[in-house]
A = this chain, B = another copy of it.
Amino acid sequence: MKIIEKGSIDSVPGFYAAGTKCGIKMGDAPDLAVLLCETACTAAGIFTTNRVKAAPVIYCRNILSRNNDNVRGIVVNSGNANACTGQRGLDDAALVAGEAEELFSLFGESVLVMSTGVIGVPLPVDKIKKGLRQIRKNYPNSSGESFARAIMTTDLQEKCLAVEIEVEGVPVTLGAAAKGSGMIHPNLATMLAFFTTDAAVSPDALSTILRRIAERTFNMVSVDGDQSTNDSVFVLASGSSGAPLISGPESPGFSAFFEAFLEAATILTRKIAADGEGATKLVEIRVVGADTYNSAVQVARTVANSPLVKTALFGADPNWGRIICAAGYSGVPIEPEKVDIYFGKLPAVKKGVAAGTHRDKLSDELRKKEVVLVIDLHQGDQECCFWTCDFSGDYVRINADYCT
């Protein structure tokens, strides 16, 4: 696998991406993005499990249930989540998709839509339509970077990448763009990720691959434990590379594609965690020696979401008591007297009590920009890797501001 320098979502031949400012956000930040493919794509999406689902989530699930092999693109706006907007929200999602289909002369129901931003405010469809016409004018000048910037909310950095692999001897490209924790008007830490590829993948295989990969990446990141109404991950596969079709795990080329996809998703996931609101460091939590994989995840997630752990990490406070305590209330029947905890490679806890490493040394480990915490439950052989960030005073500042 080769990482393409300055690669992005449009590094895949046949894909076009652009972003512009259509006026949903105040100020100068771009807020409308379009991704298109010049040929029909197979497509898959996974969506938030929140009971409160934004209109574009409902819209896309419907479309993908009817059409997962002739998708041509996606329109994304930031600044407005189109969530808790009732029937009008669903109508607005369809209006935006329809406008893009008309402007780019595409079949109906071939364009998906996604939104991120403030909840409960009707989508300003007229602004979006105007923005789409602007993008149409500049077509086909593609810029994956401007796409990645237009989907951002409080993200500090655009997140994109592209990799090249070989599938059965044929060069294949995988591109991606994502946004993480963030809000424009204070809102939800919505996570969105978009993948493009010229590999040929059947709709079913694409859906299975995306689900498995998200389980180990996008489902294993938490900035503040809140789950958004809009969280979504999409992948579009054009097949134009000419590589043989991947229709399931038995297909030659499946492994190469899966591994590259997993690595790309892991890189994006780490970028999302590192760019969490007010984050000063990336934290990787590895739970090992668990009875079951789910137990490992439950412990990791509970530790990652503990405000006491996160503030200690911010302060480089080697307060391992908060970590074992969070593991203790995770709901997993851990045996405290068996638990070991490491900060990087330094033992902090051995069999549930202090390991004796000097606190200054432990603290130094927590001062790194990337901190690794290892929690060994000594109850089995299952493990997981989870990513989060620390909790700084900036998190509160960013999130306490008044909406307007």
Alpha-carbon separation in the docked complex, A315 to B401 (Å): 6
Tell me the A317-346 residues at the B interface (CB within 8 Å).
317-322, 324-329, 332-337
CA distance A165 to B354 in the complex (A): 48
Taken together as a complex, chains A and B put the C-alpha atoms of A119 and B224 apart, in Å, by: 24
Q: Are A403 and B318 in contact (CB under 8 A)?
A: yes
Q: Which residues of B contact A121 (CB under 8 A)?
A: 354
A37 to B226, CA, bound (A): 47
Give how many A residues have a beta carbon under 8 Å from the other chain's beta carbons: 70
Cβ-based interface call for A306 (8 A): yes
The contact of A307 among B224, B316, B326, by CB within 8 Å, is: B224
**Inter-chain contacts of A189 with B (CB < 8 A):** 308
Chain A 225-244 against B: per-residue CB contact (8 Å), 1 yes, 0 no? 11111000000000000000
Residues in B with CB closer than 8 Å to A50 are 325, 328-329
State in angstroms the CA–CA spacing of A399 and B311 once bound together. 6
Within 8 A of B (CB), among A45-72: 49-53
Partner of A353 from the list B53, B81, B120 (CB cut-off 8 Å) is B120
Task: Report A's interface with B, CB cutoff 8 A.
Answer: 49-53, 81, 83-86, 118-121, 186-189, 224-229, 305-308, 311-312, 314-322, 324-329, 332-337, 349, 351-354, 359, 363, 391-393, 395-397, 399-404
